[in-house]
Every structure is written in C-alpha cells, then in structure tokens.
Amino acid sequence: AQKVTQAQTEISVVEKEDVTLDCVYETRDTTYYLFWYKQPPSGELVFLIRRNSFDEQNEISGRYSWNFQKSTSSFNFTITASQVVDSAVYFCALSEPLGGADGLTFGKGTHLIIQP
C-alpha cells in the first residue's frame, strides 16, 4: 500500500523567511511520480511540480525548490523569501496507476501561514 506522510500539520513564519515542507513516502512500485500541489483558501488544487522516480535532480523554480532523495524516500519543498501569497495548504502526493488512469495518494497536507 502506498502512503505519503507530511508530519508538519501547520507552519507559521514571518514574511521573507525561508521555509521547508517535509514529505516522506512509501511505495513498492519501482516507477512512480511525486507531486506537490498548493491549495489556497479558494479551494482549487494548483499543480506545482512532478518528479519521476528515476530523476533525483533537485529542481528550482523561482523562489521554489524541491529536494528529492530516494535513499530516504523524501521529497521536500522549500520556499525561499516567503511571501504572504504563499499562505495555503500544501499537499505532497504519490501517483498510483489506476486502470489506465493515474490517481493520487495525498499526504494530509501542511498548512503554511506567512505572517506579514
């Protein structure tokens, strides 16, 4: 069975601080994808990044960066110089093949609060 653990339920930082959201996963599949989604108060789930299990290169996109380490089954997400607009719930997710489609197993989410 697949599992995604986001141990941090809520994180609160002051604007411009750096913050890292942790994600640990379990799967028996050798090929899989990991994702991060952002859910602002409006409710929409916004796709941020996808990583496949064979690509352990870290990725940077503006103020966002991701650290994928297969050895520790972790896929952590760092926001540099945080801004109030970054406040949201962030979900880490693991893909699962489902009858020709691909569903997602989500972690419980981390509620990130950026204070001005």
Partner 1 sequence: DTEVTQTPKHLVMGMTNKKSLKCEQHMGHRAMYWYKQKAKKPPELMFVYSYEKLSINESVPSRFSPECPNSSLLNLHLHALQPEDSALYLCASSLQNSPLHFGNGTRLTVT
- CA atoms of 46 and 33, how far apart (whole Å): 16
63-92 positions binding partner 1, by CB under 8 A: 91
109 binds partner 1 (CB under 8 A): yes
Rounded Cα distance between 24 and 6, Å, is 7
Are 48 and 34 spatial neighbours (Cβ–Cβ below 8 Å)?
no
Q: Which residues pair with 92 in a beta bridge?
A: 36
- Cβ proximity to partner 1, 56 vs 103, nearer residue: 103
Report in angstroms how near the CB of residue 23 gets to partner 1 at its nearest.
12
Residue 104 near residue 41 (C-beta atoms within 8 A):
no
In the complex, what is the shortest distance from the CB of residue 16 to partner 1, in angstroms, rounded to a whole number? 27
Output the smallest distance, CB 110 to partner 1, in A. Answer: 11
Of 19, 107, 112, 114, the residue at the interface with partner 1 (CB under 8 A) is 107
Binding to partner 1 (CB under 8 A): which residues in 19-38?
Answer: 33, 35, 37
Residues 27-38 as b or e (16 or more Cβ within 10 Å = b): beeeebbbbbbb
44/57 with CB nearer partner 1: 44
Two tokens at 110?
Answer: 């981390």
The site for partner 1 (CB under 8 A) is made up of 33, 35, 37, 42-47, 50, 91, 98-104, 106-109, 111
